[in-house]
Amino acid sequence: MECKERRRIRREPKYVLDNTLVGDSWRMFRIMAEFVDGFDALSTIDIPAVTIYGSARVKQDHPWYQLAEKIAYELAAANFAVVTGGGPGIMEAANKGANRAGGISVGLNISLPHEQVPNPYANFPLHFKYFFVRKVMLMKYSSAFVCMPGGFGSLDELFEAITLIQTERVKPFPVVLVGSSFWTGLIEWVKGNQLAAGLIGECDLELFKIFDESSDVVDYIKQNVTEGNMAQVESP
């Protein structure tokens, strides 16, 4: 959606949390149903899972797409389930790689007024209406996060993950940022502003690792993931 178009929009029913056609108390049943469906489905996966985040706007011929596909392929070949947001771009690439390796390829898609179309490579698809329910599912059954380059949504998911680890709301688990050229500017800002002002500690910079090669990503996850370090985010 173009920025000019976005500024013209008034509140409409398609904006899920603004929808006044459904009472707030009745909305809870839809939310509860999404949690129940997600818990029931994902709890059947009996191997460690890795969630891969990244932009929906990356095209198939982009090196980031190809790298995400390669990482997912190698993870699936190493007997990890691969979980994504189920959409196009990086998510599609990861589902494609896992599917191509014959692994479990989970796609947790969400209804959006633009850009989020389910990709055809998830062999374990689920559908959500609420972002916060989907975010719980992306984390709860995951043993590691791989964060490819992405936009606001990817940053939201990354910072929520490291915040939950930092505040001990989940068990520590590997968080990998892929692409040093993309992430270095953000990390330097964190060091120069948040760390310099005493808003975070030096140890907080150890909550994630940065790699460029698929082999380094997969090796790090294999070395640091056990069945006991699933994120286990507290259920609502």
- The model carries a pTM of 0.86
Query: Is 165 within the bounds of a domain?
Result: yes
* Confidence at residue 175, expressed as pLDDT on a 0 to 100 scale: 98
Query: Is 235 within the bounds of a domain?
Result: no
* Confidence at residue 111, expressed as pLDDT on a 0 to 100 scale: 78
Query: Is 23 within the bounds of a domain?
Result: yes
Query: Is 198 within the bounds of a domain?
Result: yes
Residue-averaged pLDDT of the chain: 89
* Residue 14's pLDDT band (cuts 50, 70, 90): low
216 pLDDT exceeds 80? yes
* Residue 235's pLDDT band (cuts 50, 70, 90): very low
* Confidence at residue 26, expressed as pLDDT on a 0 to 100 scale: 81
CB of 19 within 8 A of CB of 13? yes
Query: Is 74 within the bounds of a domain?
Result: yes
Share above pLDDT 90 across residues of the chain, in percent, rounded to a whole number = 79
1 pLDDT exceeds 60? no
12 pLDDT exceeds 60? no
* C-beta neighbour count of 72 within 10 angstroms: 33
* Confidence at residue 6, expressed as pLDDT on a 0 to 100 scale: 53
* Confidence at residue 226, expressed as pLDDT on a 0 to 100 scale: 67
Query: Is 79 within the bounds of a domain?
Result: yes
CATH number for the domain that contains residue 97: 3.40.50.450
Query: Is 105 within the bounds of a domain?
Result: yes
77 pLDDT exceeds 50? yes
151 pLDDT exceeds 80? yes
Report the number of distinct structural domains present in the chain: 1
Domain range enclosing 161: 3-229
Nearest to 221 by CA among 47, 39, 85: 47
